Amino acid sequence: MVAAELWLRYSKFSPKLGVVTCGFLVSYLMYFVIEPYVDGAQMTLMMPIMIALIYFDRKLLTIMGLFRVVFYAGVYFGLERRLLHKPLLEFLMVECVFIIFVGMALAVIIRAREARLNLERLTKEGQDLMVERAISDKLLKTDALTGLYNHKTFHEYLDSLLEQCESNNLNLQLALFDIDNFKKVNDTYGHWVGDLVLKGVADKVGGMIGLNDFAARYGGEEFAVIFTDKSYSEAYEAVEELRINIARIEHLHAGNKPITVSIGICDYQLGDGKELLFRKTDNALYAAKERGKNTVVNAFENDGDEIASYG
């Protein structure tokens, strides 16, 4: 035990090799102590093989098995046959038991490794399937060009938020963005430049909104943003900042000319419903276009749909 403790503490060799070696020594000590009094004491010699099996080390098990067969042969012919006069048949039977046990132990290790590999394969397949589903789900929910949510996902999310607004009196503002003179950009520089402009505007919108806000490509050159954790004045300031930053984007392929957006924004009033919210916001966007573009217009309800400039 002292030797084993010193081995485990100070040896640079593998700890399991130390355990197996100590098991080998202990097994032979036990064997020589009980052999004169108990038949079949040779079974104690299988201890290191069993320890190697516990570690599931195929190489160590094979080495210990071969060493056990050879070493016991030396013990038999050097001691047992001369001193105890044990028959050769008993020696052969013990050796056969050793060999069979080693073979069975190797089979256990092989089957365990096969089971582990199958489990790893199934786990990897499950992970790959989860990744594929996540990618597929993202593709179904996002716009391929801009990376923002698509029209369908936007309406699903808005419906859910409006339900929460009605039940929990949450703040919600809807803003609609439209790129000014986008048709002229396509006609002048080509649709591929138009796609670059769309992506640049979308990147700016996606990068400037809050974590609890929701941005989508509503259609064509139109974008929508839902604000859920801001007051009305904060939402207005956010879209005004977006308008200014979008106008500062450098579009190298579009003659380096500024690309601007017109924005309509509306604060949701309880009981309005989705249709009225959209009508107000769309009217505000239309007013922004009529007022010279590159501006933000705020809509509110007052004796019918009335459009007024905010701030």
How is residue 169 annotated by DSSP?
A: -
What residue type is 206 in one-letter code? G
pLDDT in tens, 283-309: 999 999 998 899 999 987 433 444 444
66-125: pLDDT as tens digits: 877 888 788 888 877 877 777 888 788 888 888 888 888 888 888 888 888 888 888 888
0.85 surpassed by pTM: no
What percentage of the chain carries pLDDT values higher than 90?
29
pLDDT tens-digit map of 149-175 = 999 999 999 999 999 888 888 889 999
Closest to 23 (Cα-Cα) out of 5, 48, 1, 42: 48
Fold of 151-308: Alpha-Beta Plaits (3.30.70)
pLDDT in tens, 22-48: 777 777 777 777 776 666 667 777 777
CATH 3.30.70.270 domain extents, the chain: 151-308
In this prediction, residue 301 carries a pLDDT of 41
Residue 228 to residue 215: CA distance in whole angstroms: 11
Is the pLDDT reported for residue 12 higher than 70?
no
Q: Please give the Cα distance from 97 to 159 (Å, whole number).
A: 74
How many Å apart are CA 197 and CA 176, to the nearest integer? 17
**Side chain identity at residue 8, one-letter code:** L
* Residues tagged active-site: 221
